[in-house]
């Protein structure tokens, strides 16, 4: 539409509304999301050691027992391996498994509401793509 002034739209801002719901999630699941992000972003890769429970607790300002519970979810799913006396390590294939489950979760649970909001606001694919950081 000529002359139409578009509001500044940052993808992070659009998703912030939807991530606010995450504040209602238990702390150990939010910690799990942070650990998964570390793996998916390549800060730790398959075979790499994970930060100790104590260091991660200090980094996130969480109780070490809560961090241990978050780590336990990864261990239960076979995404991390425990080497007694050495630490926890990202299991082989964990990155791809996390990526696949994250995609499935996003597309099946988060995307429908985001897509509905995009339609309500009349945003075009071009408007959204223009705002993806390089």
Note whether residue 80 is domain-resident: yes
Number of domains comprising the chain: 1
For residue 1, being part of any structural domain is answered with: no
Does residue 66 fall inside a structural domain? yes
In a domain, 4, yes or no: no
Q: Is residue 75 part of a domain?
A: yes
Which whole-number Å values give the CA distances from 7 to 14, 75, 121, 123, 126, in the listed order? 12, 44, 11, 11, 14
Task: Report residue 12 as tokens.
Answer: 């992070």
Q: With 70 as the cut, is the pLDDT of residue 132 above it?
A: yes
pLDDT digits (tens, 9 = 90+) for 19-65: 455 568 899 999 999 999 999 999 999 999 999 999 999 998 999 99
Residue 5 lies in a domain: no
pTM for this model (two decimals):
0.72
CATH number for position 40: 1.10.10.10
2 found inside a domain = no
Task: Please state, in angstroms and rounded to a whole number, the distance separating the CA atoms of residues 131 and 6.
Answer: 11
- The tokens for 38 are 């570390």
């Amino acid at each position: 539409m000529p002359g139409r002034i578009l509001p500044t739209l940052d993808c992070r801002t659009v998703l912030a509304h939807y991530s606010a719901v995450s504040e209602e999630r238990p702390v150990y699941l939010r910690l799990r999301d942070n650990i998964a992000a570390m793996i998916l972003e390549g800060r730790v890769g398959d075979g790499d050691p994970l930060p100790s429970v104590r260091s991660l607790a200090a980094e996130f300002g969480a109780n070490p027992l809560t961090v241990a519970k978050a780590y336990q979810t990864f261990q239960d799913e076979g995404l991390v391996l425990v080497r007694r006396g050495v630490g926890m390590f990202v299991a082989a294939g964990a990155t791809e498994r996390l990526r696949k489950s994250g995609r499935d979760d996003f597309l099946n649970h988060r995307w429908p509401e985001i897509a509905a909001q995009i339609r309500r606001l009349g945003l075009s694919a071009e408007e959204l793509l223009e705002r993806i950081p390089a």
